[in-house]
Amino acid sequence: MNIVYREFEENLCEFFGNPIIGVFTDEPQNYRPFPWTADLPRRFEEEYGYDLIPHLGSLIEDSGDFADIRHDYYRLVTLMGREAYYDKLRAWTRTHDLHLTGHLGEEDFLEKLPHTNGDLYAPLSRLSMPGTDYLGSGHGLKENEVLSGAPNVNPKMAASVARTMGRSRTTCEIWGGAGWGVGPRTLKESLDWAAALGINLFFPHAVHVSLMGLRKRDFPPSHFYQQPYWDEFHVFSDYISRVSLITSTGSRRGGILVLFPTRALWASTTYI
């Protein structure tokens, strides 16, 4: 908080609200399996009434009451991660009347979820605009075109959290890694699919002021003046705005409720 957001506060506060309306947190996650802090054993015993240390083996092998132990461990890890990061960032943005959005790291690999974030709902529910990442330029019906492990699940999960929390906007960082050869026709296919899954505020990846050095190869393309279709891009932008308006002001009516198996993932996870 002090390294990043306090600096924003000290140097950019006059721009809060206009033009800066929010902050984007990009791919926060636990970058190693079995998240741990010095305080975790104490919190664990206070929460559940038993010592975790003698049962650590049950986190990596099916021994003892492994399902219950893993459930308790990942539930606490999720809670502590939310308290340490998302709750603090949420409080800071609320103090400055800013939106908080972004997406989780490796959210598209559900088998890694217990290690990386513990749960999807706990962190996303802390965002004023829950979000996701939609890589590539394909969609959920195309094979080998989306750089995602679960291209249909992530947008629906973020949109589901938004609806559950009464949030009108679900955001998406989109088209990262689509490559320099992709054009508006293909980009539109991907965008339409994401919109159908509940996304109604899009952040194109990326908009480079310059392509000097490694920028040219930093998960292209750039949706800016470097593109041959840039002079007409405003037509596409207008279309995105109109689609987003319709999907953010209408109401979604779903006849099917799908239960997301968070606790089953916790209980079945060993080492990834």
Whole-model pTM: value is 0.92
Distances (CA, A) of 26 to 131, 144, 194, 203: 10, 24, 19, 12
Tokens, residue 128: 């004023």
Pair 73, 44: CB distance under 8 Å: yes
Burial of 189 (0-12, 13-18, 19+ CB in 10 A): middle
Neighbours of 18 (CB within 10 A): 7
pLDDT one-digit tens code per residue, 224-253: 999 999 999 999 999 999 999 999 988 878
Q: In whole angstroms, what separates CA 121 from the centre of its chain?
A: 10
Mean pLDDT on 257-269: 92
Cα angle vertex 190, ends 113, 159, to 5°? Answer: 45
Q: What is the C-alpha to C-alpha distance for residues 40 and 141, in angstroms, rounded to an integer?
A: 42
Torsion angle defined by CA atoms of residues 50, 51, 57 and 62, in that order, rounded to the nearest 10 degrees? 0
pLDDT one-digit tens code per residue, 35-70: 999 999 999 999 999 999 999 999 999 999 999 999
Quote the pLDDT of residue 257.
87
Residue 76's nearest CA partner among 118, 38, 19, 105 is 118
Distances (CA, A) of 141 to 46, 111, 189: 47, 21, 11
Pair 92, 5: CB distance under 8 Å: yes
Mean pLDDT on 177-204: 94
Residue 147 has pLDDT above 80, yes or no: no
Stretch (H or E) spanning 203: strand 201-204
